[in-house]
Amino acid sequence: MEVFNTPRKVIITCNRRLSPYLEQEVKDLGFTIVRSFNTGLELKATVNECIKLNLNLRVASQVLYEIKSFRAEDANELYKNLVTIPWEELLPFDGYFSVTSNVHNETITTPLFANVKVKDAIVDRIKEKKGMRPNTGPELNSAVVHLHWMEDRAEIFLDTSGETLAKHRYRKIPGKAPMLEALATGTIFATQWDGKSPFVNPMCGSGTLAIEAALMAQNRKPGLQRMNYSFMHFLGYDEEAFYEERRVLKDIADKTNLPEIIASDISADAVEITRQNAKTAGVEHLITFETCDFERTTIPETPGVIMFNPEYGERLGVHTQLELTYKRMGDFLKQGCKGYRGYIFTGNPDLAKKIGLRASRRFEFFNGKLDCRLLQYELYDGSKE
């Protein structure tokens, strides 16, 4: 079964509410989208094209290449279908693979049981054809097979990504309650920041927003931070395709674009964590780091975007103290950031009311399972008219 040059159904997944930004990324890469849904989209592509998708996408989670779809009422029927697939042409018989799944079938009480059935079918097939059995386990650092089984319809995919694409591999020191890199990118996409005007990130925490802004400004793609994907462990992989795509990414990175990006935090530890993470990402030289209360953050004269990701009172902080902080943020935006577009990302609507400004737009996101909003404020210099 030749997959690297055979177009098939591909599903690209993402966190809930990120699909509009994923759709734009995929279109910008020249792909035609078949359909979009809340947690991803569908297109047709080869595994070699999946290499390009894996290296370029900022808000995606997994890139899944379909091998087969079929009807399966129960685990026995699932096994019978899976064992007919020529796995010996897809996975090295002396290699390692893992299985992930998304299962909603009344006969299955735990997805782990479905995973075992998938592993059994693959191992039995390869052992029959090659006389050896590959190793299996939970790690996602080699070949990964994904099962999507809803009621009596099952689909089996090669997960070309392996470990999630939503983490961009530079955040070696997470800090407190860090924002997922894919989510941070999605929020910046929502602001429509031009990548040239200033980007100011007070209360920067571990620096994810500032770092993602710097990466986007120079068109540095996540694939430059990563050297291992699941597609590398499928039979037929030509490493030249991977290295050619990396060469393209290096060529399109714009090292001359140096917008003002400022990351500040009252915590010296947070600023140092941001600095170290920025260094790992290769954008330390693009960011000005400041240790100060957010009200003392440098605001460049040229208007741009200023974005806060404050505590929500869910995992950190004391609610009454945060009420004062949110009010101070509103005062600071109104008085100190005229001409800018201001943004506050929060999962606490009660605290959002303390900001004291009328939001011109509200973008819906999820941070984990928490329903969040990115609030946009037009900070007019003078009257609105």
Tens of pLDDT, residue by residue, the chain (385 residues): 899 999 999 999 999 999 999 999 999 999 999 999 999 999 999 999 999 999 999 999 999 999 999 999 999 999 999 999 999 999 999 999 999 999 999 999 888 999 999 999 999 999 999 999 999 999 999 999 999 999 999 999 999 999 999 999 999 887 777 899 999 999 999 999 999 999 999 999 999 999 999 999 999 999 999 999 999 999 999 999 999 999 999 999 998 889 999 999 999 999 999 999 999 999 999 999 999 999 999 999 999 999 999 998 754 445 678 999 999 999 999 999 999 999 999 999 999 999 999 999 999 999 999 999 999 999 987 544 4
What's the total number of domains in the chain?
A: 2
Same domain, yes or no: 282 and 342: yes
As a whole number of angstroms, the distance between CA 84 and CA 1 comes to 12
pLDDT of residue 103: 96
As a whole number of angstroms, the distance between CA 243 and CA 227 comes to 10
Residue 176 within a domain: no
Q: By CB neighbour count within 10 A (0-12 exposed, 13-18 middle, 19+ buried), where does 288 fall?
A: middle
Same domain, yes or no: 91 and 208: no
Residue 383 within a domain: no
As a whole number of angstroms, the distance between CA 129 and CA 337 comes to 68
Same domain, yes or no: 211 and 351: yes
pLDDT of residue 385: 44
As a whole number of angstroms, the distance between CA 231 and CA 11 comes to 15
- Here the CATH number for the domain that contains residue 257 is 3.40.50.150
- Here the CATH number for the domain that contains residue 44 is 3.30.2130.30
Same domain, yes or no: 273 and 321: yes
Residue 268 within a domain: yes
Same domain, yes or no: 131 and 93: yes
pLDDT of residue 143: 98
Residue 168 within a domain: no
Same domain, yes or no: 149 and 279: no
Residue 116 within a domain: yes
Residue 304 within a domain: yes
Same domain, yes or no: 153 and 274: no
Measured CA distances, 161 to 44, 155, 218, 233 (Å): 16, 17, 24, 11
Same domain, yes or no: 117 and 187: no
Of the CA atoms within 13 Å of residue 307, those in its CB half-sphere come to 30
For 193, the token pair is 């920041």
Instruction: Name the residue type at position 295.
Output: E
Same domain, yes or no: 107 and 197: no
Q: Which domain holds residue 204?
A: 181-220+228-378
Contact 303, 197 (CB under 8 A): yes
Same domain, yes or no: 151 and 40: yes
Same domain, yes or no: 29 and 79: yes
What is the model's pTM?
Answer: 0.95
Residue 3 within a domain: no
Residue 173 within a domain: no
Same domain, yes or no: 35 and 150: yes
pLDDT of residue 317: 47
Q: Which of 125, 159, 193 is the last residue of a domain?
A: 159
pLDDT of residue 115: 96
